[in-house]
Structure 1
Amino acid sequence: MKLTRGKVVGVLAVLVILAAAFWYGGGAPGLQGWTVEKTTPPPVSLETAGSTPQTTPLPSASPAPAASALPAPTENPAAQEETEPAATPAPTSGIESRPGGLEGGFTAEEKIAAAQAIAGGSSPGVEKGDAAYSEAHGMVLDPNTGKDKYLTDPVPEGKPLPVEPQDASISDTAYTCTLSISCATILDNMDWLDPEKVELVPEDGWILEPTTVTFYEGESVFNVLQRTCKQKGIHMEFENTPMYNSAYIEGIHNLYEFDCGELSGWMYKVNEWFPNYGCSRYQLKDGDVICWEYTCDLGVDVGGFYSTGG
């Protein structure tokens, strides 16, 4: 095709117009006279490699006022009285007479001593024993302490002496005895009771009414309690106390020591006598009557602290 001078000029004019439009209207970097600045990232050190990248925190909306900017407290006593709550009056329930007071008052050592007294052994106030009678029937007393090696006081005249569990010989000869478990004292001291235990206390106080049970010659009060509770589905928890060579009953029917006062726990009596030794050491005889009773006051409320025998 043969181009004329006019056509060439026209084509060049079109190219110039297109170039100008592209130069001023294009959106790519470098086409409007600006360039992208390339920055080289800083080298990563071995100490920070693998650590969580940190981000620049956003500025807080408004800084907290300085302490000096806060208004000073009023010095008007009347205004202060209006804002101060009234003092809570002290409770006036029977819990004020609870052993140890409202906030307790017994040390850990005193609680242990109370528990040991309840468990048997050297309980003060249990009927005074007879050393001559006890020694004549085989009880070995330390002349320095007046107690046996398990810290047991002499036994009152006419009462059975303790028999060590390791020395007991259990035969197949069966006998019967009567066993009962009562927490009736709690009914008179419900304001002392742990609130979580209220629903556990029977309305009449009987956990087990007097029941005739079988035992075997040589068995102890503990043996009978343990077996009967298992047969009747009654919860019972104990702890062996080597110091007294006997089991100590911590809880029956989920009612534990100290649940109803700091002098509370389980005590036992046989034929209306509270032995001054543990239940594992009391060997039963045919026809014995065993009563387990919950005390709220170290035996005073059940006759076990100042027992006079029977």
Structure 2
Amino acid sequence: MKKRITGLWFAVLFICIALLAGCGSKSTAVVASVPDNGIIRKADFQQLKQSDRIAIYHGTSGGVKYTWTFIGRDIQKPADMNLKLSVKSVTAEQADAAQQYQQITFAQKGAFPGEASVSVTLGKKWADGSYLLCTGPPDTLQQTGTAQVVDGVATIRFSQNKGPYLLSLNKMAPAASSASANVSSGGTSSAGASAVSSAAGASGAASSTGASAGGATSSSADKQTASKNSGSTASVPSSTQNTGSTLAQAPSTSTSQEPAAATPNANQTLQVSLSIDCKTALANWNNLPINKQDHQVVPENGIILGQTNVTVNTGETAYNLLVAVCQKNGIQMDASGTALGKYINGINNLYEFDAGPLSGWEYEVNGTFGGVAVSRYTLKNGDAVQFRYTCDMGRDIGNPHS
């Protein structure tokens, strides 16, 4: 009898384990360690691509922790991939002076199966902000992008290995801007309009959740006071241009050259509006770093800037509009990119990846998500521009291109 009872208990236990395993199989993420040989097989990437799930691999190299994040929809050509990497400090002798860098070297050669995010733990001596990423000989280093550092962890987006990569120890300085933004307060509009986005590629998706990048950068500097819930009326001068480092293209759904924006015409003006929100970050509060769980970064109502009416010159872009209005309202903004267009890294000190590997800024105009980079969209009279923070690659804010 005792044996029967014991056998029955084992049967019940087996059934419970099977049921729990079945429930677990519905998880949207696969989390594993980087194999000893570093190789993730082609079949694993094929399965990931078909399932549209997320795969996260944790590894350690010389005491440095790193994490790879792959998204099923970003896998283009499944193939074996070596996830091993190494990190070391190097000094690059340049014309003016010796510069200190962290060198990141990938074992994988050439193209990756798809775009991926790599997060490397560098340590608390690295202040939060954006840092230049370079390749090439020390005397002719080429800037290939930026890394966003939060709590000592640098996150970078890659689709292929052109390294080794050198990450500057010096945080990028705020970009100079000639835009004095003649903004007169006299408000219209209200808090509550949806907002917030970024310079994205063909689909308008942000992130080093993915988009095409552009030229200048402004760093994450000090926190600015947050919610600007009463709208205002602003005027954007045609000289609104940031100057800064020219960076390489960030991941984008389009590789074609986008048409240039029209030349601003100071003799003709348009009436448009701008709003910025991060309501999705409120819904994902526990995913934010401790230093971002602050209502000066994410306002209690999720609205960074209520709908604000603005007068602009014809030919101005959505990026010009964002820069000028943020300057007028004391809202921090950080952008980077190449000639393909600007990429919005962060607004109000809320950055891509802050709320997870699929988070970042996107933009929409008149309820339609941008089909070109934010610096390539030329404003039209009556346009309502909204910048919106997403925590799920745009799906949580209704982007049909996500």
After TM superposition, the score normalised by the length of structure 1 is 0.51
Q: Is the 8 A contact 1:239 1:248 kept in 2?
A: yes
Residue 164 (structure 1) aligned with residue 164 (structure 2):
no
Select the structure of larger CA radius of gyration. 1
Task: Write out per-residue CA displacement over residues 218-263 of structure 1, whole angstroms, 9 at most, x where no aligned residue.
Answer: 0000000000001111100100223xx2111111001111111111
Find the counterpart in structure 1 of residue 392 from structure 2.
297
Which residue of 139, 149, 170 corresponds with 2:256?
Answer: 149
Kindly indicate whether the alpha-carbon contact (under 8 Å) linking 1:237 and 1:251 is maintained by their aligned counterparts in 2.
Answer: yes
Q: Are the structure 2 counterparts of residues 182 and 100 from structure 1 closer, same or farther at C-alpha, using a change threshold of 3 Å?
A: farther
CA distance in 2, matches of 1:292, 1:124: 11
Which position in structure 2 is the counterpart of 1:121?
201
Q: 1:182 to 1:271 in 2, by over 3 A?
A: same
Corresponding residue of 1:187: 282
- Partner Cα separation in structure 1 for residue 260 and residue 382 of structure 2: 21
Is 2:203–2:401's contact at 8 Å kept on the other side of the alignment?
A: no
Distance 1:299 1:201 in 2: 18
CA RMSD of aligned residues (A): 3.1
Q: Deviations over 1:126-160 (max 9, x none)?
A: xxxxxxxxxxxxxxxxxxxx96732x6xxxxxxxx
Whether 1:201 and 2:207 are equivalent positions in the alignment is no
**Where does structure 1 differ by over 4 angstroms across 4 or more consecutive aligned residues?**
96-105
Query: Match for residue 264 of structure 1?
Result: 359
Amino acid at match of 1:227: A
In 1, distance between residues paired with 2:387 and 2:158? 20
Given that 1:100 and 1:262 are in contact with CA atoms closer than 8 Å, whether structure 2 keeps it comes out as no
Matched, 1:225 2:322: yes
- 1:51-200 alignment to 2 at 5 Å? 105-106=68-69, 109-111=115-117, 112=157, 119-123=199-203, 149-150=256-257, 163-165=259-261, 167-199=262-294, 200=297
Shift of 1:100: 5.5
1:276 is displaced (CA, Å) by 2.1
* Long gaps (5+) in structure 1: 1-95, 126-145, 153-162
Normalized per residue, the structure richer in strand is 2
Structure 1 residues 124 and 222, CA gap change in structure 2 (3 angstroms): closer
User: How far off is 1:275 after superposition?
Assistant: 1.6
Task: Give 1:171 shift.
Answer: 3.0
- Runs of at least 5 residues in structure 2 that lack an aligned partner in the other structure: 1-26, 30-53, 59-66, 71-105, 107-114, 118-156, 160-197, 206-252
Question: Alpha-carbon deviation of 1:175?
Answer: 1.6
Q: CA 1:149–1:185 in structure 2 vs 1: closer, same or farther (change >3 Å)?
A: same
**Alpha-carbon spacing, 1:253–1:225, altered in 2? closer, same or farther (3 Å):** same
State the 1:213 CA deviation: 1.1
Distance 1:102 1:261 in 2: 15
Equivalent runs, 1:225-264 vs 2, <5 Å: 225-242=322-339, 245-264=340-359
Distance in 1, matches of 2:271 and 2:256, equals: 31
Counterpart contact for 2:317–2:379, Cα < 8 Å: yes
The percentage of counterpart residues that share the same residue type is 37
* Count of residues paired in the alignment: 176
8 Å CA contact 2:281, 2:391 repeated in 1 = yes
Question: Once the two structures are superposed, what CA deviation does each residue of 1:83-138 show, in whole Å capped at 9, x if it has no partner?
Answer: xxxxxxxxxxxxx9786669654169413269xxx74224499xxxxxxxxxxxxx
Query: SS of 2:285's equivalent?
Result: coil
Indicate the structure whose relative CO is greater, using CA pairs within 8 Å and at least 6 residues apart: 1
Alignment partners' CA distance in 2, 1:172 and 1:227: 19
Cα distance in 2, alignment partners of residues 124 and 291 from structure 1: 12
TM-score, normalised to structure 2's length?
0.40
